[in-house]
């Protein structure tokens, strides 16, 4: 029997292979410059063979949100980008809505309102199709509201502030791609540490992930999380937490002690099962350094050749 506190995939594989990666993004990801996060998503989805479905149900921008990501993903090299925007549970249960997901290699959920997303899609045929696609190895990503909706426990809404308080956050059921994880976004920019601490203190089996803007966590089939992007991912582990949440009333501050807090910038990894930080990807960094050294040597040789020819 597996440890109930260990985050694990909910969607099983259908062919014996690994499930797809899950990418959760803190919102406001770069869409005009190097597009590190969105380019990585396209790469995970198959690069120039990527077939991506953009689900924009959470957004209030309508088809404009779909068109924006279609443009970005196409520029990043994706072969095909389609849009899905069910606005009712009836539409989310329509076989015509589900049909396009049968041959996609990536699913991307936009930002907006996560409660809208979960209440329209959760428990429908479309919700089941997303889980099934993930079990086939399809990479699933969500930004902002789409990131919060990815896990079984969804940060629905709450108040800002660094101090954990009773009734500070409201949690509901998400789409179920990640188990025993709760995701919050726009983390540093909107001062959401308090509510993530409050949720984990009241449910210590959860691991809390706080995602800064233009920052993503990529969780692979082994439940190893990798950080990419401009900011950091804050991880709250309540394994040994001590709290008086059970006797706090109203909206008063709660006592939270002994929670483990990790702040990981790009390049760092975290084992969600073992709940520990992993070493930096030294081999990868060394490879990048060797490439840089090689470029410098070529530049030096060109300068020497130019001087010799003068």
Q: Which of 56, 59, 118, 144 is catalytic?
A: 144
Question: What is the rounded CA–CA span in Å between residue 210 and residue 14?
Answer: 31
213 is catalytic: yes
E-assigned strands of the chain? 22-25, 51-55, 80-84, 106-109, 139-143, 151-158, 169-173, 178-184, 207-211, 215-219, 224-229, 232-237, 242-243, 256-257, 260-265, 269-271, 276-278
Q: How confident is the model at residue 310 (pLDDT cuts 50, 70, 90)?
A: low
CB of 123 closer than 8 Å to CB of 95: no
Please confirm, yes or no, whether 71 is among the known catalytic residues.
no
Instruction: Please name the residues in contact with 246: beta carbons below 8 A apart, sequence gap of 6 or more.
Output: none
pLDDT at 88: 98
| Cα–Cα distance measured from residue 149 to residue 89, given in angstroms and rounded to the nearest whole number | 16
Over range 277-285, report the average pLDDT.
73
Show the tokens assigned to 29.
């990801």
Q: Give the residue carrying structure tokens 């992993």.
A: 278
Residue 307 has pLDDT above 80, yes or no: no
* pLDDT at residue 254, rounded to an integer: 97
CA 21, 27, 31, 36 torsion: positive or negative?
negative
* Residue from 148, 153, 213, 232 carrying the catalytic annotation: 213
Q: Strand, helix or coil at 116?
A: helix
Among the listed residues 29, 134, 186, 226, the single catalytic one is 186
Please give the helix or strand (H or E) that residue 188 lies within, else none.
none
Question: Is residue 15 within 8 Å of residue 221, measured between CB atoms?
Answer: no
Task: Please report which confidence band the pLDDT of residue 290 belongs to, taking 50, 70 and 90 as the band edges.
Answer: low
pLDDT of 9 reads 45
CA distance 145 to 211: 12
- Tens of pLDDT, residue by residue over 76-91, are 999 999 999 999 999 9
Look at residue 265 and give its three-state secondary structure: strand
Percent of the chain clearing pLDDT 70 (strictly above): 85
**In this structure, how many other beta carbons lie within 10 angstroms of the beta carbon of residue 126?**
24
Each residue's pLDDT tens digit, 116-149: 999 999 999 999 999 999 999 999 999 999 999 9
User: For this structure, is 286 an active site residue?
Assistant: no
């Amino acid at each position: 029997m597996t440890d109930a506190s260990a985050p694990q995939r909910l969607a099983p594989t259908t062919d014996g292979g690994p499930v797809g990666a899950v990418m959760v993004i803190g919102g406001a990801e770069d869409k005009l410059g190097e597009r590190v996060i969105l380019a990585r998503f396209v790469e995970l989805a198959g690069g120039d063979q990527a077939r991506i479905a953009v689900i924009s149900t959470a957004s209030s921008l309508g088809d404009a949100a779909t068109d924006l990501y279609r443009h970005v993903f196409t520029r990043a090299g994706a072969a095909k980008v389609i849009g899905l925007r069910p606005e009712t549970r009836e539409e989310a249960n329509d076989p015509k809505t589900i049909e396009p997901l049968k041959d996609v290699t990536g699913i991307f959920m936009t930002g907006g309102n996560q409660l809208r997303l979960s209440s329209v899609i959760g428990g429908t045929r479309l919700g089941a199709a997303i889980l099934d696609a993930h079990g086939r190895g399809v990479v699933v990503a969500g930004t902002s509201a789409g990131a919060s909706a990815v896990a079984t426990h969804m940060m629905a809404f709450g108040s800002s502030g660094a101090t954990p308080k009773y009734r500070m956050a409201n949690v509901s059921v998400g789409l179920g791609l990640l188990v025993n994880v709760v995701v919050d976004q726009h983390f540093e920019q909107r001062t959401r540490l308090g509510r993530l601490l409050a949720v984990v203190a009241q449910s210590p089996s959860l691991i809390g992930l706080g995602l800064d803007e233009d920052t993503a966590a990529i969780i692979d089939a082994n439940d190893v999380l990798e950080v990419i992007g401009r900011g950091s991912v804050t991880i709250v582990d309540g394994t040994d937490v001590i709290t008086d949440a059970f006797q706090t009333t109203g909206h008063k501050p709660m006592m939270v002690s002994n929670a483990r807090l990790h702040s990981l910038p790009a390049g760092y990894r975290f084992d969600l099962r073992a709940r520990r930080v992993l070493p930096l990807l030294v081999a990868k960094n060394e490879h990048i350094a060797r490439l840089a050294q090689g470029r410098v040597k070529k530049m030096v040789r060109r300068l020497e050749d130019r001087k010799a020819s003068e």
